[in-house]
Amino acid sequence: MFHIYRKNAISEEGLKSLLPHFALTDEQEEAEGILVRSADMHEEKLGAATLAVARAGAGVNNIPLERFAEEGVVVFNTPGANANSVKELVLCGLLLAARNVLPAVEWLREKQGEADIAKVAEQGKKQFVGTEIRGKKLGVIGLGAIGAEVANAAVALGMEVYGYDPYLSVNGAWRITKEARHATSLEELCKQCDYITIHVPLTDKNPGMIGEKEIAAMKEGVVFLNFSRDKLVDEQAMGRALESGKVRLYVTDFANPLSMTFPQAIVTPHLGASTEEAEDHCAVMAVKELMDYLDNGNIRNSVNYPDCDMGVPVGAQRIALLHKNVPNMIGQISSVLAKQNINIDNMTNKSRGAYAYTLLDLETRLTAEDEAALRAIPGVIRFRAVTGG
Ligand SMILES: NC(=O)c1ccc[n+]([C@@H]2O[C@H](COP(=O)([O-])OP(=O)(O)OC[C@H]3O[C@@H](n4cnc5c(N)ncnc54)[C@H](O)[C@@H]3O)[C@@H](O)[C@H]2O)c1
Ligand SMILES: O=C(O)[C@H](O)COP(=O)(O)O
């Protein structure tokens, strides 16, 4: 039996897919698997039982990836599972910005009860004349799951799209319509576009990546949309640009004491992924990732360990070692097994940055002494008998 603890509310659809030998628990200490959305885990001290954390969503800036890797805790996210939901809200933000919808609704609400309201409305509508988005230039910073969908949808709506993503993979590039143009620098994108939207992960290296310099390069009266994370934008600089009119409107999904003071902002309460569909997709994917890791040792969509899939276990025992990515780990593991004359049926070794993972199906089961010998190899972070323990 495995125990799963939820740090945030997780969609029932996902929880329904837990197999009978997975039980939800209210005691985090006893949980081998943790499901989380945006809860901040940076100060979290995990219990000894915890083997994995699955983020039902994309952004993992709320999780200390490196520390958890060091503690032998594999962290997963659910790439793409909420991308459509965010794309739709970005389109909504674009249209709200172009057509003065919110001030017009507010203006009308204040006139509630006036007998000649229909006439007042007709006479007053001229103050809310907007522009079409068709034919306007949209800059998309970050062309991953969300950015690609936004770019494609904007092209379909007749916008001229410029995309900037220096780390885009070949597979990623295939997802983007040929009609989107390639911006070779952030500056070029900023100079060209009437609307700019950012879709990159927040890391410890990029807070304030949209700052004074980038804003200075933008067109007068640009609209900036931020459905990624507030810290990607230097919001002090954004506030000054809004005051001067350099930026006409800041559409952000992140309320904070500063963004709430901007009169020229549309602020939503982190609603990008808050659709029934996205919550279901993320939860189902996160639950499947956790179950496959706990049951089979397979790693899919990890953000701090390499992916590794050996299907269902074969042989007498499957064992897993999370370890440092240093020379001679495989040699040392094989030599412990060779000494006991244990044959390896199947084996995978993968690395990612400073960490690596070795998964083995063995023809015979390990003794307690063999396990101790594997655990004692310098650089081994965690040994686990996935089956046959
Ligand atoms: N508002 C919401 O509710 C909501 C929902 C989902 C995701 N998000 C945020 O959106 C982010 C992106 O999500 P995603 O699913 O598209 O992630 P993703 O990993 O699929 O895509 C991110 C893309 O950004 C690119 N990138 C990284 N650094 C860059 C830089 N300096 N300049 C340009 N491109 C860069 C990467 O190459 C990648 O293609 C998440 O990390 C999260 O912070 C917010
Ligand atoms: O990174 C994400 O997936 C989003 O910001 C969604 O966050 P949420 O799960 O708290 O809605």
Average pLDDT on 84-107 reads: 98
CA-proximal residue: ligand 2, atom 11 (nearest): 273
Give the nearest ligand 2 atom to 57 CA.
3
SS3 238: helix
Q: Is any ligand 2 atom within 6 A of the Cβ of residue 37?
A: yes
Q: Which ligand is nearest to the CA of 279?
A: 2
**Alpha helices in the chain, H assignment, sequence order:** 12-16, 65-70, 83-99, 101-110, 117-124, 145-156, 170-174, 186-192, 212-217, 235-244, 276-296, 329-339, 368-375
Give the nearest ligand 2 atom to 253 CA.
5
CA-proximal residue: ligand 1, atom 1 (nearest): 272
Q: Sorting pLDDT into bands at 50, 70 and 90, what band is 173?
A: very high
Rounded Cα distance, 59 and 80, in Å: 11
Q: Which ligand is nearest to the CA of 148?
A: 1
Q: Do the beta carbons of residue 183 and residue 196 sit within 8 Å? A: no
Q: Sorting pLDDT into bands at 50, 70 and 90, what band is 389?
A: confident
Residue 230: the pLDDT is 98
Tell me: the pLDDT tens digits for 288-318? 999 999 999 999 999 999 999 999 999 999 9
Query: Which residues approach ligand 1 with their CB closer than 6 A?
Result: 57-59, 79, 82-83, 86, 141-147, 164-168, 172, 199-202, 206, 209, 227-229, 253, 270, 272-273
Average pLDDT on 366-374 reads: 97
Q: Sorting pLDDT into bands at 50, 70 and 90, what band is 354?
A: very high
Interface predicted TM-score (ipTM): 0.99
Assess whether pLDDT exceeds 90 at residue 388.
Answer: no
CA of 143 to the centre of ligand 1 (A): 8
Q: Which tokens in the block code for residue 196?
A: 């700019």
Task: Provide the 10 A C-beta neighbour count for residue 120.
Answer: 14
CA-proximal residue: ligand 1, atom 44 (nearest): 228
CA of 36 to the centre of ligand 2 (A): 10
Give the nearest ligand 1 atom to 271 CA.
3
Q: Which ligand is nearest to the CA of 8?
A: 2
Q: Is any ligand 2 atom within 6 A of the Cβ of residue 82?
A: yes
Average pLDDT on 267-271 reads: 98
Give the nearest ligand 2 atom to 38 CA.
10
C-alpha distances (whole Å) from 35 to each of 101, 283, 303, 326, 335 are 38, 8, 15, 31, 37
Which of 40, 200, 213, 279 is the best mutation target for the ligand 1 pocket, counting ligand atoms within 8 Å of the beta carbon and taking the most?
200
Tell me: the pLDDT tens digits for 105-138? 999 999 999 999 999 999 999 999 999 999 999 9
Q: Sorting pLDDT into bands at 50, 70 and 90, what band is 265?
A: very high
Which of 37, 232, 282, 285 is the best mutation target for the ligand 2 pocket, counting ligand atoms within 8 Å of the beta carbon and taking the most?
37
Average pLDDT on 216-237 reads: 98
Q: Sorting pLDDT into bands at 50, 70 and 90, what band is 240?
A: very high
Sketch out the chain's domains with CATH numbers: 1-82+273-305 (3.40.50.720), 83-95+131-267 (3.40.50.720), 308-389 (3.30.70.260)
CA of 257 to the centre of ligand 2 (A): 20
DSSP of 98-155, one letter per residue?
HHTHHHHHHHHHHTTT-TTHHHHHHHHGGGG----STT-EEEEE--SHHHHHHHHHHH
Q: Is any ligand 2 atom within 6 A of the Cβ of residue 38?
A: yes
CA of 272 to the centre of ligand 2 (A): 7
Residue 35, phi then psi, degrees to nearest 5: -105, 135
CA of 199 to the centre of ligand 1 (A): 4
Over the chain, what is the mean pLDDT?
A: 98
CA-proximal residue: ligand 1, atom 25 (nearest): 142
**What pTM does this model have?**
0.97
Assess whether pLDDT exceeds 90 at residue 372.
Answer: yes
Assess whether pLDDT exceeds 90 at residue 54.
Answer: yes
Give the nearest ligand 1 atom to 206 CA.
31
Tell me: the pLDDT tens digits for 59-77? 999 999 999 999 999 999 9
